[in-house]
């Protein structure tokens, strides 16, 4: 090592510096790519969550209107406001059935969507009666209770 001149030592220091900066630049580029991918996934998930939130809100409005109709069954007729809520909800579900299928990007989500579709939550929605009203007809379980089909997230 004693035969190294100042020029050779400076050259080796330069090589070490360039190599170190190359590693830093590569790490920064890789980190940026990972962050961009994670950000894109977060935007996609936010969009999916917003759509699911709309579906759950519509479901809740429909259930509240249906419960109010049951509670006030002595009137003999469902009020036009409630029928509007029920019909618009049925149309919303019918028009968003394809969207819900597209949102399922994992095997678990696809299974839940298949369960919803198989149980008739979307397929019978929007079916019109002779009086122009929509029909929602979820399948019933053996105990006579409505099967939720796993539409409520665990969040």
User: Is residue 17 very low, low, confident or very high in pLDDT (cuts 50, 70, 90)?
Assistant: very high
Q: Check if the beta carbon of residue 113 is closer than 8 Å to that of residue 104.
A: yes
Q: Which of 139, 129, 126 minimizes the C-alpha distance to 87? A: 126
pLDDT band per the 50, 70, 90 thresholds, residue 145: very low
- 111: tokens are 């299974």
Q: What is the pLDDT of residues 18-75, one digit of tens each?
A: 999 999 999 999 999 999 999 999 998 898 889 889 988 988 998 898 888 888 788 8
* Gyration radius (Cα) of the chain, Å: 29
Q: What are phi and psi of 140, to 5 degrees?
A: -100, 150
Return the domain boundaries, the chain: 7-135
**Cα 110 → chain centroid:** 11
130-139 pLDDT tens trace = 444 444 444 4
Is the per-residue pLDDT at 125 higher than 60?
A: no
Give the DSSP letter of residue 21.
H
Residues ≥6 apart with Cβ < 8 Å to 112: 104, 149, 150, 151
What mean pLDDT is predicted for residues 88-117? 83
Q: How many CB atoms lie within 10 A of CB 91?
A: 14
């Amino acid at each position: 090592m004693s035969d190294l001149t100042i020029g050779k030592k400076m050259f080796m220091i330069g090589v070490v510096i360039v190599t170190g900066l190359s590693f830093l630049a590569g790490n920064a580029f890789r980190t940026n790519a990972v962050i961009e991918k994670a950000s894109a996934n977060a935007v996609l998930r936010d969009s999916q969550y917003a759509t699911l939130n709309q579906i759950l809100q519509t479901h809740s409005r429909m259930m509240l209107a249906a419960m109010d109709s049951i509670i006030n069954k002595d009137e003999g007729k469902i009020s036009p406001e409630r029928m509007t809520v029920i019909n618009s909800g049925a149309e919303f579900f019918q028009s968003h059935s394809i969207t819900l299928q597209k949102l399922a990007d994992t095997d678990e989500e696809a299974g839940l969507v298949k369960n919803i579709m198989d149980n008739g939550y979307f397929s019978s929605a929007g079916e019109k009666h002779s009086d122009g009203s929509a029909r929602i007809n979820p399948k019933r379980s053996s105990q006579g209770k409505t099967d939720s089909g796993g539409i409520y997230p665990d969040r």
